[in-house]
């Protein structure tokens, strides 16, 4: 076996990484990723409080969640690429600073418009996740990289669930104030900022790709994503067959064509179309969309189910928002965090493809259980635990597939697009589950009682989510049968892959020197 170091791997990086305390780097980046994931679900339990306090309509207050998603769609790929070009730590600190500013603004304002601006600033911080994975690729030794990426990825599901629990606790009193949630976000964002500032090393010069920022590519990609996500999030309010909804979807298709044309023409594109269409990356993004769908289907479906008044509906558990979060969602949240290092070890020894299949099977089993039996609290909790483990295993495998498949200079943008795929899946899951629950309601409710979904709609929601997780096995089984590196313009490849076999790809993550073996 040759010991020649592959193209794209800095010969000075390995000793430096070994000399640092990698644990504190992983801790700082995990904290940052957890905080940004909390921003997505932070407002879910307090939307009614915001609506009442700011005298807004349901359609107006829905922008508190939509603004964050759209902001993430625009800024995540742009900032991920910017970090690859000009330095990850500086970009991380700037993004965390923006999140602090957005959290403070949301906490102090008494205007819905300024609250939405604050949420836009919080949404820009979604770029933290791909930036964190890029830092790990530079600073963590190859043998430890799968576990480190899995732990940081696992904090995404953990943070999303933790936000629901924490906000439920903060607003459980007699006079709840939604602003306490944003002060919590401010404190955590400041903590993450300090952790990154003091614990994460600066980017090495030889890890910066340099070059110009593709503003036109960023604009056209952002417009495409906004036109796609806007009708997904607002379709329930606008009407799925309304002119605005169909027009936005049509506009998304047109802008996608324009974006591809731009990226194929500019000298330094934001997204390398070869990377975007590279089979492992493409199917990892599809898997991310499906897992994101399942995650929000769990959060929304179980939360609503637990709060259903059984005396009126004949099902449900009469839970408060706090009880629904602590009793029914917290166990799955904790398991998702505990499963992430296990997922890292499985990726290292079995390969990311097998771990993704396992994630699919576990998640499908969880949704099958809750679809068949959601009349007993124990069944719902166990089902949530299974789905939480499936989400964590899925999130552990996807970064490994991407890092295995792209050159180092494209790590940030590739993981940024995967992050957007997961966010898009979450938006679709939220919109679809909300629409399904509202499409058939219980008849003959007492006067003054708002419409409540029929029990069959919860069953259908969980079946749809289970089907999404089952499709992940199809993606892994056929789309990811061969995981191989993408060559860059100089003829080099990703420094962590050389074989079409998934297990060999995982071994390459563990030992880059194996790239030049006879198996390659």
Q: Kindly list the domain boundaries of the chain, sorted by start residue.
A: 13-204+270-441+450-516, 214-269
Higher pLDDT, 142 or 211: 142
CA atoms within 13 A of residue 73's CA, in its CB half-sphere: 26
Residue 333 · residue 162 · CB < 8 Å: yes
Residue that is written with structure tokens 């900022």 in the block: 193
CA pair distance 413, 78, nearest whole angstrom: 7
Better-scored residue on pLDDT, 510 or 515:
510
Query: Are the C-beta atoms of 30 and 129 separated by less than 8 Å?
Result: no
Inform me whether the pLDDT recorded for 306 exceeds 60: yes
Between 238 and 501, residue with greater pLDDT: 238
| pLDDT(515) > 80 | no
HSE, side-chain direction, 13 A CA sphere, residue 93: 14
Question: What interhelical angle do 128-139 and 22-41 show, nearest 10?
Answer: 170
The residues pairing with 441 across neighbouring beta strands, listed in sequence order, are 453
Q: Whose CA is closest to 135, among 106, 169, 95? A: 95
What gap in Å lies between CA 511 and CA 520, rounded to an integer?
A: 13
Which tokens hold the place of 332?
């799955």
Q: What is the pLDDT confidence band of residue 202, given thresholds at 50, 70 and 90?
A: confident
Closest to 388 (Cα-Cα) out of 156, 168, 163: 156
In percent, the amount of the chain with pLDDT more than 90 equals 34
For residue 119, the model assigns a pLDDT of 93
Q: Are 133 and 195 in contact (CB under 8 A)?
A: no
Over 90: is that where the pLDDT of 195 sits?
A: yes
Output the average pLDDT for the chain.
Answer: 82
Fold of 13-204+270-441+450-516: Growth Hormone; Chain: A; (1.20.1250)
Q: Which helix (H) or strand (E) holds 188?
A: helix 179-199
Q: Would you say residue 513 has pLDDT above 60?
A: no
> 463-474 burial, b for 16+ CB within 10 Å, e for fewer?
bbbbebbbbbbe
Label residue 290 by pLDDT band (50, 70, 90).
Answer: very high
Give the end-to-end CA distance of the chain in Å, rounded to a whole number: 11
Q: Measured between alpha carbons, how far is 347 from 55 in angstroms, rounded to an integer?
A: 49
- For the ranges 66-70, 343-347, 390-394, the lowest mean pLDDT is seen at 66-70
Sign of CA dihedral 10, 14, 16, 17: positive
Between the CA of residue 389 and those of 175, 289, 295, 340, 440, what are the distances in Å?
36, 17, 11, 8, 31
Q: What pLDDT score was predicted for residue 207?
A: 52
pLDDT value, residue 500: 35
**In the predicted structure, residue 377 carries a pLDDT above the cut 60:** yes
| Phi, psi at 507, each rounded to 5° | -65, -30
Q: Does residue 507 register a pLDDT over 80?
A: no
Q: How far is it, in rounded angstroms, from Cα 40 to Cα 64?
A: 10
Across the range 353-382, mean pLDDT stands at: 95
Taking alpha carbons only, the member of 346, 497, 344, 348 closest to residue 411 is: 497
Report in angstroms the alpha-carbon separations of 497 from 91, 132, 258, 494. Answer: 27, 20, 32, 6
Residue holding tokens 């009682």?
449
Number of H helices, E strands in the chain: 22, 0
> What does the block give as tokens for 258?
């324009």
Give residue-wise pLDDT tens across range 452-498: 999 999 999 999 999 999 999 999 888 787 666 665 544 444 444 43
More confident site: 15 or 94: 94
Q: Where residue 325 falls among pLDDT bands split at 50, 70, 90?
A: confident
What does pTM read for this prediction? 0.81
What is the C-alpha separation between 101 and 107, in angstroms, rounded? 10
Length of the chain: 520
Nearest to 473 by CA among 367, 359, 392: 359
Supply 519's token pair. 């198996």
Residues 250, 206: Cα–Cα separation, whole Å:
43
Quick one: average pLDDT of 365-384? 96
Residues 6 or more apart whose CB falls under 8 angstroms from that of 474 comprise: none
Binned at pLDDT 50, 70 and 90, residue 248 comes out as: very high
In this structure, are residues 470 and 490 in contact, taking their beta carbons and an 8 Å threshold?
no
Least confident window among 18-27, 127-136, 349-358? 18-27
pLDDT, tens only, 91-132: 899 999 999 999 999 999 999 999 999 999 998 888 888 888
Neighbours of 246 (CB within 10 A): 15
> Could you give the CA distance from residue 229 to residue 233 in angstroms, rounded to a whole number?
6
Q: List alpha helices for 268-329, DSSP H.
A: 273-277, 279-307, 310-313, 321-323
Strongest mean pLDDT among 50-64, 89-103, 199-213, 506-520: 89-103
Q: Is the pLDDT of residue 276 over 80?
A: no
Mean pLDDT, rounded, for 387-396: 93
377-405 helix and 502-510 helix, angle to the nearest 10 degrees: 70
Q: Which residue has the higher pLDDT, 136 or 363?
A: 363
CB 232 within 8 A of CB 296: no
C-beta neighbour count of 241 within 10 angstroms? 8
pLDDT score, position 5? 38
Separation of alpha carbons 149 and 19, rounded Å = 19
3-class DSSP state of 441: strand
Kindly report, residue by residue over 162-179, the tens digit of the pLDDT.
888 888 888 877 788 899
């Amino acid at each position: 076996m040759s010991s020649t170091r592959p193209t794209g791997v800095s010969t000075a990086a390995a000793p430096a990484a070994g000399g640092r305390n990698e644990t504190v780097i992983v801790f700082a980046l995990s904290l940052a990723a957890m905080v940004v994931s909390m921003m997505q679900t932070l407002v879910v339990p307090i939307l009614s409080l915001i609506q009442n306090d700011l005298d807004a309509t349901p359609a107006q207050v829905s922008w508190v969640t939509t603004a964050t998603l759209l902001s993430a769609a625009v800024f995540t790929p742009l900032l991920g690429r910017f970090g690859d070009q000009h330095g990850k730590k500086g970009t991380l600190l700037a993004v965390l600073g923006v999140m602090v500013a957005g959290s403070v603004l949301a906490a102090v304002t008494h205007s819905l418009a300024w609250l939405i601006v604050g949420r836009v600033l919080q949404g820009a911080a979604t770029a933290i996740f791909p930036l964190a994975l890029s830092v790990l690729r530079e600073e963590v030794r190859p043998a430890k990289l799968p576990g480190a990426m899995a732990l940081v990825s696992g904090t995404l599901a953990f943070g999303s669930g933790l936000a629901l629990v924490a906000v439920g606790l903060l607003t459980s009193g007699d006079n709840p104030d939604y602003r306490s949630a944003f002060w919590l976000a401010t404190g955590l964002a400041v903590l993450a900022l300090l952790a990154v500032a003091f614990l994460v090393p600066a980017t090495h010069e030889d890890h910066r790709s340099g070059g110009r920022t593709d503003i036109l590519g960023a604009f056209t990609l952002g417009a495409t994503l906004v036109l796609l996500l806007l009708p997904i999030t607002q379709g329930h309010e606008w009407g799925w067959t309304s002119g605005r909804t169909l027009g936005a979807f049509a506009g998304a298709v047109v802008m996608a064509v324009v974006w591809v044309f731009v990226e194929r023409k500019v000298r330094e594109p934001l997204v390398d179309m070869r990377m975007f269409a590279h089979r492992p990356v493409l199917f990892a993004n599809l898997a991310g969309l499906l897992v994101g769908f399942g995650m929000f289907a769990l959060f929304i479906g179980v939360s609503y189910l637990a709060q259903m008044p059984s005396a009126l509906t004949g099902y449900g558990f009469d839970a408060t928002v706090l009880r629904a979060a602590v009793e029914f969602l917290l166990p799955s949240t904790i398991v998702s965090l505990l499963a992430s290092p296990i997922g890292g070890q499985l990726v290292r020894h079995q390969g990311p493809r097998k771990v993704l299949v396992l994630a699919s099977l576990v998640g499908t089993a969880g949704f099958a259980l809750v679809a068949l039996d959601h009349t007993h609290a124990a069944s719902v909790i166990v089902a949530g635990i299974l789905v939480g483990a499936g989400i964590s295993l899925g999130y552990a495998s996807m970064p490994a597939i991407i890092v295995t498949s792209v050159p180092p200079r494209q790590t940030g943008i590739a993981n940024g697009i995967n992050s957007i795929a997961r966010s898009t899946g979450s938006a679709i899951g939220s919109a679809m589950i909300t629409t399904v629950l509202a499409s058939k309601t219980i008849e003959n409710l007492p006067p003054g009682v708002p419409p409540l979904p029929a029990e069959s709609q919860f069953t259908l929601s969980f079946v749809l989510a289970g089907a999404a997780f089952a499709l992940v096995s199809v993606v892994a089984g056929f789309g990811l049968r061969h995981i191989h590196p993408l060559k860059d313009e100089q003829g080099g490849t990703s420094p962590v892959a050389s074989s079409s076999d998934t297990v060999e790809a995982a071994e390459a993550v563990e030992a880059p020197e194996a790239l030049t073996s006879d198996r390659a």
